[in-house]
Structure 1
Amino acid sequence: MIKGSQVLMLNRNKAPNKGLWNGVGGKLEPDETPELSVIREVEEETGYRISSPQYRGIVRWKVDDKEIGGMHVFIVNMTNQDTYPTPVKMDEGILDWKELTWLLDEENQGVVSNIPYFLPNMLQGKEACDYLCIYRDGRLLHVKEMGLIR
């Protein structure tokens, strides 16, 4: 969820990425579309019911030469009339609004490592794109833009 220059983020209290700020989301249920999944997951993790999430692409990860997962990314733009007071503690962790400049600061080690590589393009409203994050020995080595999703 985006409101002006702020992004609603979750400081996770569980692995993976325990203690790091990450976007809100989760896993697809059987026979669930990515759009229905994000609507359900946002409501489960925030208590807030969203509508019309905008699809921005896929982020996949390859760990030690093995592709092991990925996620669909959606953006929800909130208006000035929309309110979601934070910080708030939820089952998954603490939710809080974070300034985009803070999230993208290259010295910020409190954010999941791949976010600064794909989030700026996705927020600019470009066409949906596929990103591949390459990790070795637990460290992000490279994020590769694989092309547009048609």
Structure 2
Amino acid sequence: MCFLHADTRLLLLHRRHSPNAGLWNGIGGKLNSGEDPYAACIREVAEETGLHIDHPLLRAVIVISVKSTGELWVLFTFTAAPTTPEEPVASEEGELRWIELAALQTLPVLPDLPLLLPHVLSTTEVLTIRLDLNNDDATSLVRAEIVGPADQAKVLFELHSQ
């Protein structure tokens, strides 16, 4: 996952396909065989936007635990600035748009995005973040927590049972 930024704007993708169809999110995808997370980030940004980045900065490792299936997912979350001033080119993945960070609350986004982005965009360290979901739908978030580094650890969201 990569959050491209320019000044106070983020480039977000309005996803056409599952997972997370209909929601705005960062740019990204899966690692190819033999590929490291940095190379995957650079490749995914180029494939999904037509933009080039040189040195993505790893800002978070997000561990997603899915209660209903027992699955664990690991997301490497980067930030980067495009190296060229071109406009992004939409791909089959969805519509691309530069969004003012302040406008994020007005868009249909993953529920963890407004919780995590301020931390991911402001840190100079690599955060370890844990997300707990009831099922494999990202909107089933029940807990979001920064677990490290220790001086930044805190629960960002917790759904309490009724």
Say whether 1:13 aligns with 2:16: yes
Gaps of 5+ in 2: 151-162
Query: CA offset at residue 39 of structure 1?
Result: 0.5
After superposition, residues 58-97 of structure 1 pair within 5 angstroms as 58-64=61-67, 66-78=70-82, 82-85=84-87, 88-97=89-98
Query: CA offset at residue 125 of structure 1?
Result: 2.9
Match of 2:43 among 24, 30, 40: 40
Q: Which moves more between the two structures, 135-144 or 90-99?
A: 135-144
Partners of 1:11 and 1:93 in 2: CA distance: 5
Partners of 2:93 and 2:36 in 1: CA distance: 22
For residues 30 and 132 of structure 1, do their structure 2 counterparts lie closer, same or farther at Cα, with a shift above 3 Å needed?
same
Gaps of 5+ in 1: none
Query: CA offset at residue 78 of structure 1?
Result: 4.5
Which residue is 1:136 aligned to? 134
Query: CA offset at residue 83 of structure 1?
Result: 2.2
With the length of structure 1 as denominator, give the TM-score of the two structures.
0.86
Query: CA offset at residue 148 of structure 1?
Result: 2.8
With the length of structure 2 as denominator, give the TM-score of the two structures.
0.80
Partners of 2:82 and 2:40 in 1: CA distance: 19
Over residues 86-129 of structure 1, what are the superposed CA-to-partner deviations in whole Å (9 max), with x where a residue is unaligned?
6x5311000101111122x2xx4601111122211111133101
Indicate conservation of the 8 Å contact 1:60/1:67, yes or no. Answer: no
Over residues 38-96 of structure 1, what are the superposed CA-to-partner deviations in whole Å (9 max), with x where a residue is unaligned?
001111111112101111011121122624312101100348xx42436x531100010
For residues 109 and 141 of structure 1, do their structure 2 counterparts lie closer, same or farther at Cα, with a shift above 3 Å needed?
farther
For residues 84 and 115 of structure 1, do their structure 2 counterparts lie closer, same or farther at Cα, with a shift above 3 Å needed?
farther
For residues 148 and 31 of structure 1, do their structure 2 counterparts lie closer, same or farther at Cα, with a shift above 3 Å needed?
farther
